[in-house]
């Protein structure tokens, strides 16, 4: 049985539609116009135990809403979901002791107290045995190398240090399912890397199930074998990261290093020219046409070096999001 099973899950919010201007603001005092916003539309998803899945999607696509539904913070409009056999929004204490949610933009620690006080509070809340607690805490602080920061008030920690503390707090009770909502947001490259390494190691050691949302492709590339693309509340893709490129990008990037004295004139006949910085030329062309095009270029030009690459992942995803955005603008129900 899958550890997370989602069927036909939908969530719509009713938002107050305010028009511009004072007169309409006054009218809004009596009669308000509401608009239904479908944050999540009929999602189906199955995740097996031990998977590390990334949710990709532009802002407002429904990623966070899905995580909120799965952690029981909000009720769905319709549909069902089960995590480890529990219905999340029933909020049973047994379920709440077995998962954790970490949000990069929120902090769950006590602002004015050192992190270790918050950890001890978690020990009580989750009823972790003292021996177990000490062991887990020592292991986690060691892995994240934050031992000497435990006694410092949380408000004096840097963002990266705080995020590590958040992670420790979330993992103290050894959750079997972990939801991470943009855990590396706003962090510098080193801190991001540290957290990636930690998550990777921890997930492999414990074989826990993790759902992650992130806007950093590096996170996703480093951590997740499976990627779910959500745009405007619906799943557009579910599969491997490499598969995203195969499916959503029909083009390849061709890098040429021209021989000395060779002009680049006429290359636009073969493919779209991305940039010319002699002697380097970058072309973009359709996938299937590579062999034919390459052979005619080699015949007509003096070439020192050739490289064929996939377009960068960020670009593919960005294109994908843009497509989705233009598709969905006429789908919003009024």
Partner 1 sequence: MILRIALEERLVYRGDFALGTLMRFLPIITQIFLWWAVFQSIEGRMAGYSFEDMVAYYLLSMLARAFSSMPGLASTVARQIRDGEIKKFIIQPVDLIGFMLLGRVAHKIAYYTVATVPFALVFFLCRGYFTEGWPPAIVVGAFIASLVMSFLLGYFIDLCIGLIGFWFLEVSALLFVYMLLNFFLSGHMFPLDLLEQPWRSLVDFLPLKYLAYFPAAIFLGKIPQDRLAFELAIEVAWLVAFIGLARWLYARGLRRYSGYGG
Contact positions toward partner 1, by CB under 8 A?
13, 64, 68, 71-75, 91, 93, 96-97, 100-101, 103, 105-106, 108, 110, 112-113, 117-118, 120-126, 181
| Smallest separation, CB 122 to partner 1 (Å) | 8
Q: Who's near 184: CB < 8 A, 6+ residues apart?
A: 104, 163, 191, 192, 195, 196, 214, 216, 219
Nearer residue to partner 1 within complex by CB, 59 or 326: 59
| Smallest separation, CB 115 to partner 1 (Å) | 12
Q: What is the DSSP code (8-state) at residue 114? A: B
Nearer residue to partner 1 within complex by CB, 125 or 242: 125
Nearer residue to partner 1 within complex by CB, 75 or 201: 75
**Residue 299, burial from CB neighbour count under 10 angstroms (0-12, 13-18, 19+):** exposed
Phi and psi for 14 in degrees, rounded to 5? -105, 115
Q: Is 278 helix (H, G, I), strand (E, B) or coil?
A: coil
| Smallest separation, CB 221 to partner 1 (Å) | 24
With CA atoms as reference, report the closest residue to 69 among 7, 153, 154, 150.
7
User: Rounded to whole angstroms, how far apart are CA atoms 146 and 160?
Assistant: 11
Nearer residue to partner 1 within complex by CB, 211 or 316: 211
Nearer residue to partner 1 within complex by CB, 117 or 161: 117
Nearer residue to partner 1 within complex by CB, 125 or 307: 125
| Smallest separation, CB 111 to partner 1 (Å) | 9
Q: Who's near 101: CB < 8 A, 6+ residues apart?
A: 67, 71, 73, 170, 178, 179, 180, 181
């Amino acid at each position: 049985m899958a550890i997370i099973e989602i069927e036909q899950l939908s969530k719509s919010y009713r938002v107050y539609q305010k028009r511009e201007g004072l007169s309409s603001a006054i009218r809004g005092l009596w009669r308000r116009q509401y608009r239904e916003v479908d944050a999540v539309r009929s999602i189906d998803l199955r995740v097996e135990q031990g998977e590390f899945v990334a949710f990709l999607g532009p802002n407002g696509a429904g990623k966070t809403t899905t995580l909120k539904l799965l952690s029981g913070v909000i009720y769905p409009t319709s549909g069902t979901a089960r995590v480890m056999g529990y219905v999340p929004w029933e909020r049973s204490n047994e379920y709440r002791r077995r998962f954790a949610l970490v949000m990069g933009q929120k902090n769950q620690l006590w602002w004015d107290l050192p992190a270790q006080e918050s950890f001890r509070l978690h020990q009580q809340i989750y009823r972790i045995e003292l021996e177990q607690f000490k062991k887990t805490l020592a292991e986690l602080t060691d892995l994240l190398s934050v031992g000497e920061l435990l006694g410092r008030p949380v408000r004096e920690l840097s963002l990266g240090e705080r995020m590590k503390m958040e992670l420790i707090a979330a993992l103290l009770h050894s959750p079997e399912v972990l939801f991470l909502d943009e855990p590396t947001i706003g962090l510098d490259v080193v801190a991001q890397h540290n957290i990636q390494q930690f998550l990777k190691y921890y997930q492999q050691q414990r074989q826990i199930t993790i759902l992650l949302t992130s806007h950093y492709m590096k996170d996703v590339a480093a951590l997740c074998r499976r990627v779910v693309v959500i745009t405007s509340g619906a799943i557009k893709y579910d599969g491997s990261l490499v598969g995203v490129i195969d499916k959503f990008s029909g083009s390849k990037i061709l890098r040429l290093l021209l021989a000395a004295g060779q002009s680049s004139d006429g290359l636009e006949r073969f493919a779209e020219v991305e940039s010319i910085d002699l002697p380097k030329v970058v072309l973009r062309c359709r996938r299937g046409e590579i062999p034919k095009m390459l052979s005619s270029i080699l015949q007509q030009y003096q070439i020192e070096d050739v490289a064929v690459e996939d377009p960068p992942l960020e670009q593919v995803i960005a294109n994908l999001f843009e497509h989705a955005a233009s598709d969905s603008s006429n789908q919003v129900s009024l």
